[in-house]
Amino acid sequence: MTLSQHLENDVGLYQQTLKRPIHCTGVGLHSGAKVSLKIKPAAVNAGIAFVRTDPRGGHTVIPARWDHVVDTRLCTVIGNGRGVNVGTIEHLMAALAGTGIDNAVIEIDAPEVPIMDGSAAPFVFLIECAGIEQQDARRQVLRLRRHVAVGDANRRATLTPGAGIGFGFEIAFDSAVMAHRTGSFEMTDGAFKQDISRARTFGFLHEVEELRRLGLARGGSLNNAVVISGDTVLNEEGLRYQDEFVRHKILDSIGDLYLAGHRIMGQFHGWRSGHALNNQLLRSLFADAANYELSDMTPADLEQPVADNWNYPQHLAATA
């Protein structure tokens, strides 16, 4: 059997990159500035890396890894530790994880990824337009050996060993339109695009007004976020999913956890978690080598559903 035939028979076991570069432009959520972004193929085992191509960025390469996260207050920001940063990376990282891209270079001429429509769907579209190419090296995954948890009485994030790649989330907001929601998601072929990718970022009107007073959220609008005032959704078209808010929190978590550098085999659960706690969870995971092992993906991994100890069985039905 030739190598190409072997790869065709083991879809999912091997690393993937893009077939060709693809480009887009948009605005930064907080800066409001125009941003140009290009996603390019990368070599085996290169991982995901951002490159600032503008003069201020100086072609600085910033690996998309948990240990390069420098800020998590409003979004996930990675940097080189010397003031060259790239922010709002979580939606693009979620799209790369959801489409199975292991290796890519992202060139960007600004310190913020364009917000697009506030979801990961435009990035999924770009990746599909570029095409996905299998590479001649086996994909490696992080297998959890021990339960890892961070947080307090108000918010919590955990990783639990088990088969499959599962995400569960619970939100609780003081608004009838959001209320208490619970959702779960299993990372299987095609599921991310259908069930999660279109869920948009969201916020309350009074929060947006305060951010703008501070010189932030200059690029935010009803075209790239769901905005809530009291118990009312202000967007004329309403919600894309009945439970869009919890789906978006799952989307953010997928993007944040992909900064582990590999897929994590096991289950994530967040209770009112956010970017800061998600990064803290990865730091706790990697603080002790006994928590995990890195090994090749196997055919059994592709066949196994989420483990029986997955405690959040409510699957997210796609309801537009």
Catalytic residues: 275
Sorted by sequence, the CB contacts under 8 Å of residue 144 that are 6+ apart come out as 159, 160, 161, 162, 264, 265, 266, 285, 291, 292
Helix residue ranges, H only, 27-152:
90-99, 121-130
CB 166 within 8 A of CB 310: yes
CB 286 within 8 A of CB 170: no
Q: Which amino acid is at 216?
A: L
Beta strands in 64-139 (DSSP E): 69-71, 77-79, 85-86, 104-108, 132-138
Distance CA 280, CA 264 (A): 15
Helix residue ranges, H only, 103-204:
121-130, 191
- Phi and psi at residue 154, in whole multiples of 5°? -100, -25
C-alpha torsion 310→244→255→263, nearest 10: 30
**What is the DSSP-derived secondary structure letter of residue 114?**
B
CB 282 within 8 A of CB 259: yes
- Phi and psi at residue 227, in whole multiples of 5°? -115, 130
- Phi and psi at residue 38, in whole multiples of 5°? -130, 130
Distance CA 180, CA 277 (A): 19
Distance CA 167, CA 256 (A): 12
